[in-house]
Amino acid sequence: MKNDRMKELRYTIDIWDRDYSLAQTTKYHIDNDSLVITLISGLKGESDKRLVGRGLEDSEKERIQLFLGKLDLGKLNDRYINDLIEDGDRKHLVIQLNNDIKKIEIANYYQKNIAELFQTINLTIGDGPKIKYKQR
């Protein structure tokens, strides 16, 4: 029965990891079938660059679905922002699990469930550019 539930879970995760000091954003897109990482330039005349684009292996699909099956989007806030810091670590997430969508802004703030999501995705990325997210 658990395997049937896992097969029914459709998901899309988009993460924009902004680095204003370098005028660029790393965009991570992961869904039931694939992982795509794109470097988006914030400079006029520079093109975006695809860093990673590949299908997911069955073990990766299972690991992600196991994590997402336990994630309660309703318990996550829309914003996790440390107003005392104006620059630094800024991320925007859009998580869709079946028909539920959650948009989250993060700025210099650590949240355990988000950290676990990033760790799960980083395991899937392998040698590609990881999502940096530290407890402060």
Q: Within a domain: residue 83?
A: yes
Q: What range does the domain containing 99 cover?
A: 2-125
Q: Within a domain: residue 59?
A: yes
Phi and psi (nearest 5°) for 48?
-70, 155
Comparing 21-35, 50-64, 78-92, the range with the smallest average pLDDT is 78-92
pLDDT one-digit tens code per residue, 61-119: 999 999 999 999 999 999 999 888 877 779 999 999 999 999 999 998 999 999 999 99
Q: Within a domain: residue 136?
A: no
Say yes or no to pLDDT of 3 above 60: no
Q: Within a domain: residue 54?
A: yes
**CA–CA dist 21, 24 (Å, integer):** 8
3-state secondary structure of 112: helix
Say yes or no to pLDDT of 1 above 50: no
